[in-house]
Structure 1
């Protein structure tokens, strides 16, 4: 059986490494002055830096505005991780 995934819109705009606007946000999982973890339509997104702040959050629109000194942005695929764990459990309990 073939799985079809529908890609939803997600956009990341960073201005001068000081401000950022993110769309396609499902949830803000955690945040502090050095790290913000977002769940987006394209997977988990981690923003690292210093003096980071969530200025605006609109869950209805799926938008987040961030500010601070942005050092890095990294993505990880939630579905791939969940599928790996599912395969591990299915192998253990056969």
Structure 2
């Protein structure tokens, strides 16, 4: 069993228009309809409309996104990102 990361991971969604995420390692990709965040607990996919980064502080692991949030989902089920990296490696070959 893998150890959990030390940093706390939180997701706060206000009125489906303002999303705050902590425990973010990196923003892998983004556009106005989709964000892919690499978090301490796996890849987090955010989909919606007119999405924009309001605040990004990678050193503190925090991201704020505004726009209409339609879907939030993890792309892997564990704390390791290796399976997700393998998935994206196959997807973008």
State the TM-score, normalizing by the size of structure 2.
Answer: 0.79
Higher relative helix content: 1
1:50 counterpart SS class: strand
- Contact 2:43-2:81 at 8 Å conserved across structures: no
Q: Which runs of 5+ in 1 are unaligned?
A: 86-94
Q: Which runs of 4+ in 1 moved over 6 A?
A: none
Aligned mates of 1:34, 1:72 — CA distance in 2: 10
- Structure 1 pair 65–80 and aligned structure 2 pair: CA distance change class (3 A): same
Aligned mates of 1:79, 1:31 — CA distance in 2: 18
Count how many residue pairs are aligned between Structure 1 and Structure 2: 82
State the TM-score, normalizing by the size of structure 1.
Answer: 0.78
Bigger Rg, which one:
1
Find out whether 1:6 has 2:8 as its counterpart. no
Map 1:1-94; keep pairs closer than 5 Å: 3-8=1-6, 9-77=8-76, 78-79=80-81, 81=83
- Structure 1 pair 29–80 and aligned structure 2 pair: CA distance change class (3 A): closer
